[in-house]
Amino acid sequence: MKITDLRCAIIGGSPVVRVITDEGIVGLGQAETPKSYLKPHVLFYKQHIVGEDPTNVERVMLKIRRLGAFKPWGSAVSAIEMALWDIAGKAAGIPVYKLLGGKVRDQVRIYNGGVRFPMAGSSPQDYADDVAKMKARPEGFTIVKASVGWHSATPRNVPNFTYGEIMNGPAHINKGLLTERGLKHVIACAEAMKAVLGDEIGLALDCGPGWTVPDAKRLAKAVEPLNLMWLEDMVSGDYSPSTLADVYRDITMSTTTPIHTGEQVYLRHNFKELIEHQAVNIVGPDPADVGGIAELKWIAEYADLHGILMAPHGVFDGLIGLAALVHSAAVMPQNYIAFECPIGNPSWWYDIIEGLPIPTVKNGLIDVWDAPGLGVTINPDKAQKYLLEEDKGFFD
């Protein structure tokens, strides 16, 4: 079998990849929804993979993996890797998880991820109301993550939140020392949410990046009585091309509250320091950024050897990315906690994707399906009307 073409279309804002073979088997991959600008990056790799046998996944990846970089520039490589595994599974007539060593679990735990509600404000009551809605959702979430501090509208909504200047610009541009009032406000919001969720549902906080080390330590110590699942991306994170393992270790060693990072990191090599130095308690790579499905499994196994837990990122990965997360989570060691569950956005994604179990999430869990490859396909007839004019030949 040989790769004959690599195509990319922007469907609902999301870069979708098709790897086409001379035997008529097609593989699908997906980059994160906000990254429509990645299409040229995906197509750049065509010259390197056409003519290769897609079922030799690692051999193909050796040609392109080194050409990616930290978030978002590893996304194109990651989407192609998903598509290669999809082909390999279809060619063998088995699900991807079997190619990765077989299931450790029949169901994979998720947390809310893409399920979010517009918030009326940033008060503790607003946060309490938000998680009350999450608690009532039909998915039956057993873990809920909420965005606080620099990863929220709080800096703009709460007067005198920080001693620094609030800037306008790309997401998560701000950073600075919090005032006493600002720190107490975040703590009060966490307390309000935990009062609603009780000990029935775990609470994780997406905090940054943007926290100074003193503030990160103060917050982590203050919320220790709440038994939070984790504090995420406090000093680096979204679109930060660094891991800051020494800084994270300083914070982690100062508290019993679990510390989490990793969504922006590309490749196993860049988790090495975080894991070997025990810099965090939990790592959270994203299969659509880290280099793909197999990369995610390798990191989980290496983390497990060092007593570190695994909770993958995935909020914007879409429904093809959801399939990739399910297969990779199924084969991870017992350090696996849950992954951040993406949704179909816009909602018509559920009309064009076939193969997902309906309902997909029950009691906070997804049943691992057994269809060959990733087990999901796009219905070309239904999807055609959502293609941009320049992508009309995507399914030809």
| Per-residue model confidence as pLDDT tens digits over 289-326 | 999 999 999 999 999 999 999 999 999 999 999 999 99
Per cent of the chain over pLDDT 70 is 100
Per-residue model confidence (pLDDT) at position 293: 98
Whether 271 is covered by a domain: the verdict is: yes
Q: Do residue 58 and residue 196 come from a single domain?
A: no
The overall average pLDDT reported for the chain is 97
Of 324, 287, 331, nearest to 99 by C-alpha is: 331
pLDDT at 316: 96
**Statement to judge: residues 89 and 136 lie in one domain:** no
Tally the domains of the chain.
2
Is there a domain that residue 219 lies in?
A: yes
pLDDT given for residue 171 in this prediction = 81
On whether both 85 and 109 belong to a single domain, the answer is no
Alpha-carbon span 217 to 246, nearest angstrom: 14
From the centroid of its chain, how far is CA 217? 25
**Same domain (yes/no): 192, 122:** yes
Cα distance from N-terminal residue to C-terminal residue, the chain = 19
Shared domain for 247 and 191, answered yes or no, is yes
**141-157 mean pLDDT:** 97
pLDDT for res 51? 98
Please check the confidence at residue 337 and state whether its pLDDT lies above 90: yes
Residues 333 and 272 in one domain: yes
Judge if 223 and 158 occupy the same domain. yes
If one counts every other C-beta atom within 10 angstroms of the C-beta of residue 175, the result is 15
Is residue 199 a part of any domain in this protein? yes
Say whether both 216 and 290 belong to one domain. yes
DSSP string, 219-237: HHHHTGGGT-SEEE-SSS-
The mean per-residue pLDDT over the stretch 6-17 comes to 97
Is the domain of 155 the same as that of 8? no
For residue 396, being part of any structural domain is answered with: no
User: Which residues, including other chains, have CB under 8 Å from residue 383's CB and lie 6 or more apart?
Assistant: 11, 352, 395
What CATH number should be reported for the domain holding residue 297? 3.20.20.120
Cα–Cα distance, 234 to 210 (Å, whole number): 6
Q: Is residue 51 part of a domain?
A: yes
Confirm whether 336 is domain-assigned: yes
In-domain check, residue 36: yes
Same domain, 63 and 176: no
The Cα–Cα gap between 82 and 73 comes to 16
Considering the domain architecture, whether residues 87 and 150 belong to the same structural domain is answered as no
In a domain, 392, yes or no: no
CATH code of 57's domain: 3.30.390.10
- 275 in Cβ contact with 240 (< 8 Å): no
pLDDT at residue 385 above 90?
A: yes
Q: Which domain holds residue 51?
A: 3-95+379-386
Q: Answer whether residue 241 shows pLDDT above 90.
A: no
Res 206 pLDDT > 90: yes
- Which range, of 21-30, 122-131, 169-178, 352-361, averages the lowest pLDDT? 169-178
* pTM confidence score: 0.97
Segment 244-291, tens digit of pLDDT:
999 999 999 999 999 999 999 999 999 999 999 999 999 999 999 999
pLDDT tens string 212-237: 999 999 999 999 999 999 999 999 99
Measured from the Cβ of residue 211, the count of other Cβ atoms closer than 10 Å reads 29
Q: How confident is the model at residue 333 (pLDDT cuts 50, 70, 90)?
A: very high
Render pLDDT for 153-197 as a digit per residue (tens, 0 to 9).
999 999 999 999 999 888 888 999 999 999 999 999 999 999 999
- Tokens describing residue 166: 């609030």
What is the DSSP secondary-structure string of 273-333?
HHHHTT--SEE---TTTTT-HHHHHHHHHHHHHTT-EE----TT-HHHHHHHHHHHHHTS-
Q: Are residues 312 and 352 in the same domain?
A: yes
